[in-house]
Structure 1
Amino acid sequence: MLPAANRLTRSQDFGLVVRRGRRAGRPRLVVHALVPATDPLAQPTLECSKVGFVVSKAVGNSVVRHRVSRRLRHVVRDRLDALPPGTSLVVRALAPAAAASSAELGEDFDAALRRLSR
């Protein structure tokens, strides 16, 4: 489970990250990242990284969507310490994520973060 302090919950926060943040797409997911050090208009008061997930009906039915979101939460939780403080992420699952294992989702997430860090 992701700690409450590390969750994006407000719609405005999701919108801000998607609009202003950088994006890296992979075959199974898309990661939007907003790092306060690179964006002067980002909220500088965040001391911990925050993550939000978007898993639409295109991924599958309710059971499949919840399975994908649980796998993504587990993948991201293990990598939170590697993110710069104050980073906001939105992880959007694509339809192929339904058939992906946790290891495949982790590889895609790591590749997206590497691409964003350039």
Structure 2
Amino acid sequence: MLPEHHRLHRRIDFSRTVRQGRRIGRRDLVVHLLLHDDQANGSDPAIRVGGPRFGLIVSKAVGPAVVRHRVARRLRHICACFVAELPDGADIVIRALPGAADATSEELHRQLQAGLRKLGMLTPEGEAGISVSGES
């Protein structure tokens, strides 16, 4: 599971990441990334405990509450796999698209991995040990 200090909680952190960060779209996800080095001086700095922080946006377009919560649980678990691979100053917001409701965990993992790679946060050699289902 994703530890509490690796989660985005404040609305301003979500807004800043979505508006000022870079983004990449995948079939079932949109990944927004903001590195704290990218922020202009004078902006309200977030209190950092260490490590990257993740935020999830799973709207009603994804499905009813049970489906949305299932998608969010899967995404939190997948995000936990990437904590060690990402820089400490990274804020990542993942917006689930309606197709995420029918996607498997492996598909969501591959899409997030591809999005982070496109944004320059992952290298192919750093991804070898990541597994969602516990298989190697």
Question: Same fold judged by TM-score > 0.5?
Answer: yes
Partner of 2:9: 9
Structure 2: tracts of 5 or more residues without a match:
122-136
Partner of 1:106: 109
Cα shift readout 1:74-97 (whole Å, capped 9, x = no counterpart): 111011111111100100000000
Identity of aligned residues (%): 47
Task: Give the Cα–Cα distance (whole angstroms) in 2 for the partners of residues 50 and 106 of structure 1.
Answer: 17
Partner of 1:36: 36
> What RMSD, in angstroms, separates the aligned Cα atoms of the two structures?
1.6
Change (3 A) 1:44 1:54: closer
Aligned AA for 1:102? S
Does residue 87 (structure 1) correspond to residue 90 (structure 2)? The answer is: yes
The answer to which structure, 1 or 2, has the higher relative contact order (CA under 8 A, 6+ apart) is 1
Structure 1: tracts of 5 or more residues without a match:
none
Q: Secondary structure at the match of 1:67?
A: helix
Measure how far apart 1:48 and its partner are. Answer: 1.8
Task: Give the Cα–Cα distance (whole angstroms) in 1 for the partners of residues 46 and 16 of structure 2.
Answer: 14
Task: Give the Cα–Cα distance (whole angstroms) in 1 for the partners of residues 16 and 40 of structure 2.
Answer: 13
Bigger mean CA offset, 28-37 vs 52-61? 28-37
Mark the structure with the bigger radius of gyration: 2
Aligned 8 A contact 1:44 1:86 in 2? no
Task: Give the Cα–Cα distance (whole angstroms) in 2 for the partners of residues 68 and 44 of structure 1.
Answer: 27
Task: Give the Cα–Cα distance (whole angstroms) in 1 for the partners of residues 78 and 11 of structure 2.
Answer: 23
Task: Give the Cα–Cα distance (whole angstroms) in 2 for the partners of residues 40 and 99 of structure 1.
Answer: 39
Aligned 8 A contact 2:23 2:119 in 1? yes
TM-score by length of 2: 0.81
Task: Give the Cα–Cα distance (whole angstroms) in 2 for the partners of residues 44 and 50 of structure 1.
Answer: 11
TM-score by length of 1: 0.93
